[in-house]
Amino acid sequence: MSDSTFPGPDYRAAFHGVAVKSHPGRHFLAVTGKAPGDMLNGLLSNSPPPPLSPGGVGVGSAVYSTLLTAKGRMITDLRIFAASEGGFLLELPSVGFEGAVAHFKKFLPPRLAAVEDHTSRFDLLTLLGPDSPASIASVLSGRGLEVSREDVAPVREGEELVLLGLEDGPVRVVGNGDTVAPGWDLILPSGLSEPVRRGFEEEGAISLSEHALQVLRIEKGRPVFGKDMDEDTIPLEAGLQTRAIDNEKGCYTGQEVVIRIRDRGHVNKALRGLLLGEGPVAPPDTELFNPEREKSVGWITSSAISPLFGETVALGYIKRLVAPGETVGVGEAEGPEARVVALNDEGWVLD
């Protein structure tokens, strides 16, 4: 979808109806064994969720975390779910998959925990929009699952609703906070993915394009691994200290670096929002400059024309010497100006 035709019906549906998107690039790993929770706790920056309630039905936790090297740099980000049969299910991006598998196989003791690729067993659908809870309830109920709009609507980011009753396995309804529109994810057996997606579209859901999803994500100010974060990123640089790090837990790989930065009180660079006015969309890696010193102070990672902001916006890393509220030059010191804005879990911190 080109910027000249944006916003389209899918973007509008995310605010006023239902938009649905499949994610074939997501991967799933099962971690099982005698002590999978203890073993994961020593590798992940956040604590694994508690076991599901008896029967495996009800609201549980969907824990966002990072997997780090000893130097505190990201191998990937991921979400952790307690499996209904015991152990854990990990959901992670394709760009971080190989590194994560290699790390787990190297550091998970086989006699205590084993990791297995379950990507072929599951699919992920995202639904955005205020009518999503009703649509989710209707389509899943049509598949024989007992769930109502009132069950789905309260599920927020960090929570999940686990539904049993299908031979293929559980269906998870997970709160999605990655966009400015209200969102829910469905993690479901792969054989159900296309029939369920068609069910949503038959009820009026609009297919959500990758372009629209990225605009909605940038409008929320959320980084994504592979674009705004990579193997050189320390999670505190990307603003993940609240969502992805448990400061009370015991030792894990990379913790020493995270604690040292946390106690020092700052990082040398941080992910920021950028308001570019009527400027063009800037490609990734476009440098940002201090106009007075004509010195590079960062770079852009994601950019889009935003209907919500009414201007071009971007995410990018800015050195500590540039404070929110100041301006930078895009592409060169004399380039188009961009105003630097702080970000938090709720989005852009605007005046």
Q: What is the pLDDT of residues 84-105, one digit of tens each?
A: 778 999 999 999 999 999 999 9
- pLDDT of 287 reads 98
State which amino acid sits at residue 263. D
Query: How confident is the model over 68-80, as pLDDT tens digits?
Result: 999 999 999 999 9
Assigned token pair, 46: 């956040």
Beta strand 19-22 pairing with 206-207: parallel
Give the CA dihedral 334, 338, 343, 348, nearest 10 degrees.
Answer: 180
CA separation for the pair 243, 63 (Å, rounded): 8
Statement: residue 329 has pLDDT above 60: yes
- pLDDT of 105 reads 95
Q: Are 162 and 56 in contact (CB under 8 A)?
A: yes
Q: What is the pTM of this model?
A: 0.95
DSSP code of residue 5: G
DSSP code of residue 31: E
Statement: residue 42 has pLDDT above 80: yes
* CA dist 272 → 182, 202, 221, 223, 245 (Å): 22, 40, 8, 10, 19
Query: How confident is the model over 180-198, as pLDDT tens digits?
Result: 999 999 999 999 999 999 9
Q: pLDDT tier at 168 (50, 70, 90 boundaries)?
A: confident
Q: Mean pLDDT throughout 49-62?
A: 79
Assigned token pair, 152: 């789905």
Statement: residue 4 has pLDDT above 70: no
- pLDDT of 5 reads 60
Q: Are 308 and 347 in contact (CB under 8 A)?
A: no
Q: In the sheet where 171-176 sits, what is the strand order? A: 114-117, 26-32, 88-93, 74-82, 58-68, 159-163, 171-176, 183-189, 122-128, 19-22, 206-207
**Angle of helix 9-16 relative to helix 210-220, nearest 10 degrees?**
50
Angle subtended at Cα 162 by Cα 161 and Cα 166, rounded to the nearest 5 degrees? 140
